[in-house]
Every structure is written in structure tokens, then in C-alpha cells.
Amino acid sequence: MGFYRKIPSFDIGELNIENLFITDFLPIASGTYVKVYLMGLLFSKEENTNYRFDNAVLANMLKLPLEDIHEAWIYWEGKKLISRHFHEDQTAYDVEFLSLRELYILDNFVSKSAAPSKEASAKNATFVKENEKFKALCTRIEKIIATPLKHTDYRKINDFYTHYYKNADIIVRAFEYNYIERNIRNIKAIDSLLNSWLDQGLSTIDAINKSIEMSTSRFKVYKEVLHLLGMSFRMANQAEKEAINRWLDEYHFEPKDLYELIKNFSKSTMNMNFNYIETRLKDLCSKNILTFEAYKQTAKPENTDSQKSVPAKSRKKQYTIEKERTYSEDELEALLLRKGKNSK
């Protein structure tokens, strides 16, 4: 296998890109940032100096928001590939493309000739180490969500890593929990999840796993209680969750006993609701009746001695049933004659 380039028969222009950009910067940069860099580099060619290009034109040609254009230039300036020269109004600016070969020589030869300070070396080592950790974190997340991250996703993840947890395992666990276990495929939900973990004071992966396990089992209880009350079509609200948590944590009813008690309570009322269950369970708890078996033993037996109503004896009703009768011609004639005489 080889790579060859056909010599063009006519020239309509070409763009020279330094190899260092292709090998060192393109693989790790966002696709949006790369497009902005290449289009801007095209605008910087000498034959295009007669035209007035700016960021608005660049955004229009690339079909990108103007904000993304500015973010791209900030990114490339941080990589020392370009330099922004602001105008007097301090809002508009020109972009100067710097030589990557010069950058490479300065970083690898000139800087090595002078002995760097210990502080600078320590900062550089820390930056490289953190950058490698962040890239490894993003790689793990991409495997979980099964899709490449966008540049906005990188910013979000960097925010999680910088302001929430420096432990990459915790951030990865958040993505696993939402994207795989709960099927909530939204990076904004990760923000809410990490916030809730911080509010609960969960700072280790073990504590988070225990919390997830408990919330998962408790969610099943919420769902089953609502199902018994005929409300399986919706999720439990906050007040209902607090009530169920109280039955389990303060009154110390086990889920299986709780289900059986609720089923039994429903036989004695037509208005089954959380307030009724709360009253009954609180009463049982005060009597230290915490299992369904104990409840059955204390429940009043049904009154089997009550007299059963005796149905009244059925009375036969007498009905006059006329039977059909057939008459001969002579009998019919006699009946008609008799009827005629009576009418006279």
C-alpha cells in the first residue's frame, strides 16, 4: 500500500499546512476548531489579502455560531498556534498564524539550552499529567456513551472534573449510572447527578455505589406501593417518598410486610390513601407490631356465629293455564247455532 499524489494539469490554488499540525494538533482538537483554523489559514494567504474577511464571514461560510469561532481562536491561541491582535475597541481583532516549526524548535531546543527553574518544571509536569488524565477520562466516557464527544461536551466534562470531582472514576460512574442503568442519555443530567452527590456528602466511589444501590432498591418500593394503590402510571412525588421512607426507616417495616399490610388495609376502607396507611402503620408501630404475621395474630377474627338470614319459603302461585282445544266441523256449527239463538 502507498500514497501518491497526481500532478495537476492546471492550478486553482492550494493550501500549505505544516506537518506538525496534522500529526500533533489535529487528532486531539475538536472538529469545529480544526475547521475554523483551516478556513482562517486559507483567508490568510497573500492572494486573499485584497478581500476583507472577518469572524462574521467565517461563521457564515462554516455555518457556525459566532461564539464557536471566538472559542476556536481562544483554543488555538492557548496552543500558541495563533496570536490575536485586538483593535482599539477591544472587541474585534486580527488573527496572526504562527509557525509551528518555530514553536517546535523553541520548545525542544532553545528552552532546553537554558536550565528551567524548578517551579516551571513542576508546573509543566503537573499540566502534562492532568492533561493526560483528562484525555483518558474522555476516552472512557466515549466508550460508555458509544458516540464521539462534541466540543461542548468536552467543556462540560472539564467543568465536572475541575469544579465537582477530581476523581475520574466518580465522573465515569455518573455516566454509567445515567446512560446505561437509567437510560438517561443527557449530559445535563450528569450535572444534576453530581450536584446531588455533593449535597449528600458523597466523596468516594464506595459511598456513591452504596447510595446508588440503596436508591435503586428504594425506587422499587416506591413503585410497588403506588401499584398497590392503583397509581402505577406515575412516579412517587416527594411527599410520598418521604412517607414511604418513614415507614421503612422510622417504623421499621420490611418491604414484604408493608405490601401485605397495605393489601389487608384496603379491605377495610373504600378511601385508601397515604394518610390512612400512615395512621394504621403508626398505630401498629406504637404496639410493636412490625410484621404481617404479628398483625394477623392480633387481628379480630370474623364473627362466624352470626345468624345467617333464612330465605322465605317459596310460595307456589296458581296460574290458570288454558289448554288448546280442537273442534270438529259439527261442534263448530253447533256452537254457532247456539250463539245465534242466544243473541235473539
Q: Is residue 231 part of a domain?
A: yes
Residues 26 and 99 both lie in one domain: yes
Q: What is the pLDDT of residue 121?
A: 53
Q: What is the pLDDT of residue 51?
A: 64
Q: Is residue 86 part of a domain?
A: yes
- The CATH code of the domain that includes 59 is 1.10.10.10
Amino acid, res. 248: L
Choosing from 146, 180, 203, the residue where a domain stops is 203
pLDDT digits (tens, 9 = 90+) for 124-138: 555 556 678 888 888
Q: Is residue 316 part of a domain?
A: no
Residues 189 and 222 both lie in one domain: no
Phi, psi for residue 169 in degrees, rounded to 5: -60, -35
For 39, the domain range is: 19-107
148 and 120 in contact (C-beta within 8 Å)?
no
Residues 255 and 186 both lie in one domain: no
Q: Retrieve residue 119's grid coordinates.
A: 517551579
Among 149, 128, 150, residue whose Cα is nearest residue 139? 149
CA distances, 222 to each of 231, 233, 235, 244, 267 (Å): 11, 12, 8, 7, 21
Q: What is the pLDDT of residue 330?
A: 80
Residues 194 and 153 both lie in one domain: yes
Structural domains of the chain, count: 3
Distance, CA of 107 to CA of 101 (rounded, Å): 10
Residues 198 and 220 both lie in one domain: no
Q: Is residue 93 part of a domain?
A: yes
Choosing from 44, 79, 107, the residue where a domain stops is 107
Residues 199 and 222 both lie in one domain: no
Cα end-to-end distance, the chain, whole Å: 134
Distance, CA of 176 to CA of 141 (rounded, Å): 9
Q: What is the pLDDT of residue 152?
A: 78
Q: Is residue 189 part of a domain?
A: yes
Please list the residues that pair with 94 across neighbouring strands: 85
Q: Is residue 252 part of a domain?
A: yes
Among 254, 275, 272, 271, residue whose Cα is nearest residue 263? 272
Q: What is the pLDDT of residue 50?
A: 61
pLDDT digits (tens, 9 = 90+) for 182-210: 888 888 899 889 988 988 888 899 999 88
For 225, other C-beta atoms within 10 Å of its C-beta total: 23
Residues 59 and 34 both lie in one domain: yes
Q: Is residue 113 part of a domain?
A: no
Q: Retrieve residue 274's grid coordinates.
A: 397515604
Residues 102 and 25 both lie in one domain: yes
Q: Is residue 114 part of a domain?
A: no
187 and 153 in contact (C-beta within 8 Å)?
yes
Largest CA distance in the chain: 157
For 48, other C-beta atoms within 10 Å of its C-beta total: 12
Residues 128 and 185 both lie in one domain: yes
- Which residue numbers in the chain have pLDDT < 70? 1-12, 46-52, 90, 104-130, 300-327, 341-344
